[in-house]
Amino acid sequence: SLSIVVAPAQSVYQPSAENLAARKAFQDDKFGLFIHWGVYSLLADGEWIMNQRQIPAKDYEKLPTFFNPVDFNAKEWVSMAKNAGMKYITITSKHHDGFAMYDSKVSDYDIVDRTPYKKDVLKMLADECQAQGIKLFFYHSHLDWHHPDYYPRGRTGQKTGRPESGDFEKYLTYMDTQLTELLTNYGPIAGIWFDGWWDQSSDDAGHVGKTAPANKNGIDWKLDRTYSLIHKLQPAALIGNNHHVAPFPGEDFQMFEKDLPGSKSTGFNEAQTIGQLPLETCETMNGSWGFNIKDNRYKSTKDLVHYLVKAAGHNANFLLNVGPMPNGKIQPEFVKSLAEIGQWMQKNGETIYGTRGGPVEARNWGVTTAKGNKVYVHILDWADRQLTLPALPGKVSAARLFADKSPVKITQSAEGVVLTMAAPPAADMLDTIIELDMAPATA
Ligand code: FHN
Task: Report the alpha-carbon distance of residue 192 to residue 153 in Å, rounded.
Answer: 23
Task: Report the alpha-carbon distance of residue 187 to residue 208 in Å, rounded.
Answer: 34
Looking at every residue in the chain, the average pLDDT score rounds to 93
Residue 284 near ligand 1, beta carbon < 6 Å: no
Task: Report the alpha-carbon distance of residue 177 to residue 59 in Å, rounded.
Answer: 26
User: What kind and span of H or E run contains 409?
Assistant: strand 409-413
C-beta separation of 244 from 268 below 8 A: yes
Residue 120 near ligand 1, beta carbon < 6 Å: no
In the chain, helix, strand, coil percent, each to 5?
30, 20, 50
C-beta separation of 301 from 430 below 8 A: yes
381-387: long-range contacts, CB 8 A cutoff, minimum separation 24: 382/424, 382/425, 382/432, 383/424, 383/425, 383/427, 384/424, 385/420, 385/421, 385/422, 385/423, 385/424, 386/418, 386/419, 386/420, 386/421, 387/418, 387/419, 387/421, 387/434
Q: Count CB neighbours of 240 within 10 A.
A: 26
The mean per-residue pLDDT over the stretch 318-326 comes to: 98
Looking at the CA of residue 36, tell me the nearest atom of ligand 1.
Answer: 6
Task: Please report the pLDDT score of residue 5 as a whole number.
Answer: 39
Task: Please report the pLDDT score of residue 90 as a whole number.
Answer: 99
Q: What is the pLDDT of residues 96-128, one digit of tens each?
A: 999 999 999 999 999 999 999 999 999 999 999
C-alpha 23 – ligand 1 centre gap (Å): 23
Residue 47 near ligand 1, beta carbon < 6 Å: yes
Task: Please report the pLDDT score of residue 9 as a whole number.
Answer: 42
Mutate to test the pocket of ligand 1, among 195, 245, 295 (most ligand atoms within 8 A of CB): 195
Task: Please report the pLDDT score of residue 400 as a whole number.
Answer: 98
Task: Please report the pLDDT score of residue 216 as a whole number.
Answer: 84
Mutate to test the pocket of ligand 1, among 142, 241, 242, 259 (most ligand atoms within 8 A of CB): 242
The answer, yes or no, to whether ipTM is higher than 0.85 is yes
Higher pLDDT, 187 or 161: 187
The mean per-residue pLDDT over the stretch 148-159 comes to: 83
Q: What is the pLDDT of residues 428-440, one digit of tens each?
A: 889 999 999 999 7
Q: Rounded to whole angstroms, what are the CA distances from 134 to 11, 275, 359, 430?
A: 32, 27, 29, 26
Residue 115 near ligand 1, beta carbon < 6 Å: no
- What percent of the chain has a predicted confidence (pLDDT) above 70? 93
Q: What is the DSSP letter of 407?
A: B
Residue 252 near ligand 1, beta carbon < 6 Å: no
Task: Please report the pLDDT score of residue 269 as a whole number.
Answer: 57
C-alpha 280 – ligand 1 centre gap (Å): 14
pTM of the entire predicted model: 0.95
C-alpha 195 – ligand 1 centre gap (Å): 7
Residue 340 near ligand 1, beta carbon < 6 Å: no
Looking at the CA of residue 258, tell me the nearest atom of ligand 1.
Answer: 9
Listing DSSP states for 136-191 in one string gives EEEEEES--SS-TT--S--SSS-SSS--S---HHHHHHHHHHHHHHHTTSSS---E
Residue 405, classified by CB atoms within 10 Å of its CB into exposed (0-12), middle (13-18) or buried (19+), is exposed
Task: Please report the pLDDT score of residue 1 as a whole number.
Answer: 35
Q: What is the pLDDT of residues 352-401, one digit of tens each?
A: 999 999 999 999 999 999 999 999 999 999 999 999 999 798 999 999 99
Identify which of 91, 94, 88 has the alpha carbon closest to the alpha carbon of residue 31. 88
Task: Report the alpha-carbon distance of residue 297 to residue 287 in Å, rounded.
Answer: 6
End-to-end CA distance of the chain: 65
**Segment among 4-8, 21-25, 366-370 with least mean pLDDT:** 4-8
Q: Is the pLDDT of residue 210 over 80?
A: no
Task: Please report the pLDDT score of residue 202 as a whole number.
Answer: 82
